[in-house]
A and B are shown apart, each in its own frame.
Chain A
Amino acid sequence: MSQENKSAGIPLPNIFDRPANTVTLTINDIPVTVNRNSTILEAATKAGVHIPTLCHLALDGFDIHSETSSCRVCVVEVEGRPRLVTSCSEKVVEGMVVRTDSPRAIRGRRTNLELLLSNHPRACLTCAKNLDCELQKLARDMSIREITYKGERKRFDIEYSSRAIIKDPDKCIMCRRCETMCNDVQTVHVLSALGRGFDSVVGPAFHADLGETTCTFCGQCVAVCPTAALTEVNETSRVWRALHDEKKHVVVQVAPAVRVAIGEMFGMAPGSISTGKIATALRRLGFDAVFDTNWGADLTVVEEASELVSRIQNGGPMPILTSCCPAWVNFIESQFPDMLHIPSTSKSPMIMLGAMAKSYYAQERGIDPDSIVVVSIMPCLAKKAEAARPELSKDENQNVDIVISTREFGHMLQEIGIDFPNLVESDFDSLMGESTGASIIFGTTGGVIEAACRTAYEILMEQPLERVELTQLRGLEGIRSGTVMFGDTPIRIGIAHGLGNARRLLEGLRSGEYEFEAIEIMACPGGCIGGGGQPYHHGDMEVLQDRQRALYREDRNTPLRKSHENPMIRRIYDEFLGTPYGEKAHELLHTHYTAREKI
Chain B
Amino acid sequence: MSHLELDMSILEPGLLAELDAYIESLPDPQGSIIAVLHKAQELNGYLPRELQLYVARRTGLPTAKINGIVTFYSFFSEVPSGVYTISVCTGTACFVKGAQEVLDRFREELKLEEDEPMTEDGLFSINDVRCIGACGLAPVVRVNERIFGHVKPDQVSEIIAQHRKEAADAS
Classify chain A's interface size. Answer: 20 to 34
Structural contact, B72 and A190, CB atoms closer than 8 A: no
Q: Which residues of B are found within 8 Å of A212, using beta-carbon distances?
A: 3-4
B62 close to A (CB within 8 Å): yes
Per CB-CB distance, the 5 closest pairs between chain A and chain B, nearest first, are: A189-B62, A192-B68, A192-B64, A205-B67, A205-B63
Q: Which residues of A are found within 8 Å of B65, using beta-carbon distances?
A: 189, 192
A206 close to B (CB within 8 Å): yes
10 additional A-B residue pairs with CB within 8 Å, beyond A152-B92, A183-B62, A205-B64? A189-B64, A191-B64, A192-B64, A194-B64, A198-B130, A203-B64, A206-B63, A209-B2, A213-B64, A599-B63
Q: Which residue of B lies closest to A150 (CB)?
A: B92
Known: A196-B71, A197-B130. A205 touches B1 (CB 8 A): no
Structural contact, B68 and A599, CB atoms closer than 8 A: no
Q: Which residues of A are found within 8 Å of B99, using beta-carbon distances?
A: none
B40 close to A (CB within 8 Å): no
21 contacts between A and B (CB under 8 A): A152-B92, A161-B1, A190-B64, A192-B65, A193-B68, A194-B64, A194-B67, A194-B68, A194-B71, A194-B72, A196-B71, A203-B64, A205-B56, A205-B64, A205-B68, A206-B49, A206-B63, A207-B2, A208-B2, A213-B64, A599-B6
Closest chain-A Cβ to B58's Cβ sits at a distance in Å of 14
Known: A194-B67, A196-B71. A206 touches B4 (CB 8 A): yes
Q: Which residues of B are found within 8 Å of A366, using beta-carbon distances?
A: none
B87 close to A (CB within 8 Å): no
B41 close to A (CB within 8 Å): no
| Per-position 1/0 for A144-185, Cβ under 8 A of B | 000000001000010101000000000000000000000100
A195 close to B (CB within 8 Å): yes
With A and B bound together, what is the CA distance between A507 and B49 in angstroms? 30
User: How many cross-chain pairs have Cβ atoms below 8 Å apart between A and B?
Assistant: 65
Q: Which residues of A are found within 8 Å of B2, using beta-carbon distances?
A: 206-209
Within residues 37 to 58 of chain B, which ones have a CB less than 8 A from any CB in chain A?
A: 49, 52-53, 56
Within residues 67 to 81 of chain B, which ones have a CB less than 8 A from any CB in chain A?
A: 67-68, 71-72, 74
B66 close to A (CB within 8 Å): yes
Closest chain-B Cβ to A73's Cβ sits at a distance in Å of 24
Closest chain-A Cβ to B1's Cβ sits at a distance in Å of 6
Q: Which residues of B are found within 8 Å of A183, using beta-carbon distances?
A: 62
Residues of chain B having any CB pair with chain A under 8 Å:
1-4, 6, 49, 52-53, 56, 62-68, 71-72, 74, 92, 130
Q: Which residue of A lies closest to B5 (CB)?
A: A212
Within residues 182 to 230 of chain A, which ones have a CB less than 8 A from any CB in chain B?
A: 183, 189-198, 200, 203-209, 212-213
Q: Which residues of A are found within 8 Å of B63, using beta-carbon distances?
A: 205-206, 599
Closest chain-A Cβ to B29's Cβ sits at a distance in Å of 17
Partner of B62, one of A152, A192, A193, A206: A192
Q: Which residues of A are found within 8 Å of B53, using beta-carbon distances?
A: 205, 599
Structural contact, A195 and B71, CB atoms closer than 8 A: yes
Structural contact, A599 and B4, CB atoms closer than 8 A: yes
Q: Which residue of B lies closest to A196 (CB)?
A: B72
Q: Which residue of B lies closest to A188 (CB)?
A: B62
With A and B bound together, what is the CA distance between A467 and B63 in angstroms? 49
Q: Which residues of B are found within 8 Å of A213, using beta-carbon distances?
A: 64
Q: Which residues of B are found within 8 Å of A197, using beta-carbon distances?
A: 130
With A and B bound together, what is the CA distance between A152 and B74 in angstroms? 21
Closest chain-B Cβ to A104's Cβ sits at a distance in Å of 30
Q: Which residues of A are found within 8 Å of B64, using beta-carbon distances?
A: 189-192, 194, 203-205, 213, 599
Structural contact, A209 and B3, CB atoms closer than 8 A: yes
Known: A197-B130, A599-B53. A205 touches B3 (CB 8 A): no
Q: Which residue of A lies closest to B69 (CB)?
A: A192
Closest chain-A Cβ to B17's Cβ sits at a distance in Å of 23
| Per-position 1/0 for A246-264, Cβ under 8 A of B | 0000000000000000000
Q: Which residues of A are found within 8 Å of B66, using beta-carbon distances?
A: 205
Q: Which residues of B are found within 8 Å of A159, using beta-carbon distances?
A: 1
Q: Which residues of A are found within 8 Å of B74, using beta-carbon distances?
A: 196
Q: Which residue of B lies closest to A597 (CB)?
A: B57
Structural contact, A205 and B52, CB atoms closer than 8 A: yes
Closest chain-B Cβ to A542's Cβ sits at a distance in Å of 33
Within residues 103 to 153 of chain A, which ones have a CB less than 8 A from any CB in chain B?
A: 152
Known: A197-B130, A212-B4. A190 touches B62 (CB 8 A): yes
Closest chain-B Cβ to A220's Cβ sits at a distance in Å of 16
**Max chain A CB contacts within 10 Å: which of B1, B52, B64, B65?**
B64
**Max chain B CB contacts within 10 Å: which of A161, A183, A197, A599?**
A599
With A and B bound together, what is the CA distance between A159 and B3 in angstroms? 11
Q: Which residues of B are found within 8 Å of A206, using beta-carbon distances?
A: 2, 4, 49, 52, 63, 67
With A and B bound together, what is the CA distance between A191 and B67 in angstroms? 10
With A and B bound together, what is the CA distance between A193 and B130 in angstroms? 19
| Per-position 1/0 for A24-51, Cβ under 8 A of B | 0000000000000000000000000000
Structural contact, B4 and A208, CB atoms closer than 8 A: yes
Closest chain-A Cβ to B55's Cβ sits at a distance in Å of 11
With A and B bound together, what is the CA distance between A191 and B68 in angstroms? 9
Q: Which residue of B lies closest to A197 (CB)?
A: B130
Q: Which residue of B lies closest to A159 (CB)?
A: B1
Q: Which residues of A are found within 8 Å of B130, using beta-carbon distances?
A: 197-198
Structural contact, B62 and A195, CB atoms closer than 8 A: no
Known: A183-B62, A205-B52, A206-B49. A192 touches B3 (CB 8 A): no
Partner of B72, one of A191, A193, A203, A207: A193
Q: Which residues of B are found within 8 Å of A194, using beta-carbon distances?
A: 64, 67-68, 71-72
With A and B bound together, what is the CA distance between A183 and B69 in angstroms? 15
